[in-house]
Amino acid sequence: MESQFDAMKKPNRRVRKRKSQSSQKDSDFEVNTIDKLSTSIRDEGLRMAFFSRQPTKDNNRHAREKAREVLNSSIKMYRPAAIVSTEIINLSDNRAFVVEDEFCMLNSWYRNDSERCIRLLVSGSKNDAATTYFVPPRSTFHIGSVSDVRNFASINGETFDLVVMDPPWENLSVKRQQSYVTCGSPLESVDLECLAADGLVAVWITNRKGIESELGAYFRRWKLTQLATFFWLKVTLEGDPVCSFNSSHKLPYERLVFASRTEYSARYPAISAADGKVIVR
């Protein structure tokens, strides 16, 4: 996003036009609709003081630098070499974890069985300052591969009412910046047998061409019916889209696709009725 903003500031920059093809009509209509809507959203947001004019247009650089600083200093807790465990360990409030002493901890499953939020105090080593993590009431977490979920659910008789996925889709912008590892078929190892019969699935997808067909194939494999697509429009503090709608490789919004098992799709009328909803943040 930063590279996109910097490119937009360059004078006389060349903007490559999106190719107009018959197969892209739906995509072009979607882009144009959200583009027009973004202007109304900005104007209404300014009127309501949800957005405000900023003296310095730096794409919120200070906040992004601080977020990068926190990310770089965060504890790397996932260790693929650790033995996978299906054991559930109940947590108590203010429990301390030292990662270097808890090698097998990371691939276990941790549960807060209480009715209140509890705190975990996690440090990389005994000499490091602890970072506080909050675990919601009646929740379980696991740091490991998504492929671990199937065995855990089967052995412990667990099912999930809601499954939210944000797969590392292949992305040209990410490839250039090497900000994280992407996968050609990131959902290949996902098995949704652990989804409750009437459960809901939400999947974040990018704007890459053909990704809807790819996701649709997985929905058919999992015997799911698509309910709706929501759009997350990313804006600045002034309410402007974070990048141009004319970008050749990036758009200022992402899509969140909802699905459920076909026989339970009528259970979610509010979601189906909100198909096309635009969320601004």
Give per-residue pLDDT as tens, 198-223: 999 999 998 888 899 999 999 999 99
CA 35 to chain centre: 22
With pLDDT > 90 as the criterion, what percentage of the chain qualifies?
A: 41
Residue 7 pLDDT > 80? no
Q: Exposed/middle/buried for 164, CB within 10 Å: 0-12, 13-18, 19+? A: exposed
- The C-alpha atoms of residue 247 and residue 40 are separated, in whole angstroms, by 21
Q: 184 phi and psi, to 5 degrees?
A: -65, -45
What per-residue confidence (pLDDT) applies to 180? 47
Residue 179 pLDDT > 60? no
CB 279 within 8 A of CB 230: yes
**Predicted TM-score of the model (pTM):** 0.77
Q: Name the pLDDT band for 246 (thresholds 50, 70, 90).
A: confident
Tokens of 37: 């809507």
Residue 253 pLDDT > 50? yes
Q: 197 phi and psi, to 5 degrees?
A: -55, -40
What per-residue confidence (pLDDT) applies to 66? 84
Tell me the helix, strand and coil percentages in the chain, rounded to 5.
35, 25, 40
What per-residue confidence (pLDDT) applies to 15? 47
Please state, rounded to an integer, the average pLDDT across all residues of the chain: 82
Rg of the chain over all Cα atoms, to the nearest angstrom = 22
CB 123 within 8 A of CB 131: yes
Residue 261 pLDDT > 70? yes
Residue 130 pLDDT > 70? yes
Q: Name the pLDDT band for 80 (thresholds 50, 70, 90).
A: low
Q: Name the pLDDT band for 144 (thresholds 50, 70, 90).
A: confident
- The C-alpha atoms of residue 145 and residue 87 are separated, in whole angstroms, by 15
Q: Name the pLDDT band for 56 (thresholds 50, 70, 90).
A: confident
- The C-alpha atoms of residue 158 and residue 139 are separated, in whole angstroms, by 12
Cα 150–Cα 220–Cα 189 angle in degrees, nearest 5: 30
